[in-house]
Amino acid sequence: MKLTRRCLYCNCLFTPNPRTNGLQKACSKPACLKARRSDAYKAWRSRNPHYSQSRNGKILRWTSKQPSYWKKYRRSHPEYVRKNRLRSLERYEEKKAFFAKQVAIKSDPIGFLNTIRQKMAHSPHFAKRNAIKDVLDGILTYLLFKETLHNETLSTPQTSPRYDGSPVVLSELGRKAAPSPVKKTQ
Ligand SMILES: [Zn+2]
């Protein structure tokens, strides 16, 4: 038997089982088999989203009848608890950062965009993906919030912010200290 295939997971050469008719993607190492199974499972789940939904519902109904189940499960699965805790912390930090950004936009929308612009101008690694992502993230958050602000203005004109909603030109930001108030002399 010849070593004719490369394992998708550990990159070693292996002899595929002739019965798999060339479809075998992983070698026979337990870690590779496990990874392959896990990937296949994830792919199947993403192709069948309704399965997860109905299954989650079933699990919820079942565990609501067994109140001590999760308590026992957490006690016997410390790794699950650790991962869950980390993920919660991540979600909390993401939310906190998002709200901090919102506060910054609300108190000084032009200053917020100006900071983004300066980041673009001064970053020596602007070509790097993360820098671009940060900038786009900021602009997107700003646009989303502007839309919300606009909707609020429509419903409550008395408490509308001074920002007039006119399009912001990035090149003018440095010169413009504050947004020009709406002046309509007719
Ligand atoms: Zn392998």
If you write DSSP's letter for every residue of 8-47 in order, what string do you get? Answer: TTT--EE---GGGTT---S-S-HHHHHHHHHHHHHHHHHH
pLDDT, position 125: 63
Question: What does the pLDDT average to over 126-140?
Answer: 70
Question: What does the pLDDT average to over 96-125?
Answer: 79
Model confidence at 176: pLDDT above 50: no
- Ligand 1: centre distance to CA 103 (Å): 50
Which residues face 14 on adjacent strands?
A: 5
- Ligand 1: centre distance to CA 15 (Å): 11
Comparing 30 with 129, which gets the higher pLDDT?
30
pTM summary value: 0.39
- Ligand 1: centre distance to CA 16 (Å): 11
pLDDT, position 182: 53
Q: Are residues 55 and 62 in contact, defined by beta-carbon separation less than 8 angstroms?
A: no
- Ligand 1: centre distance to CA 27 (Å): 4
Pair of tokens at residue 26: 């992983």
pLDDT, position 124: 65
DSSP letter at 23? Answer: -
DSSP letter at 20? Answer: G
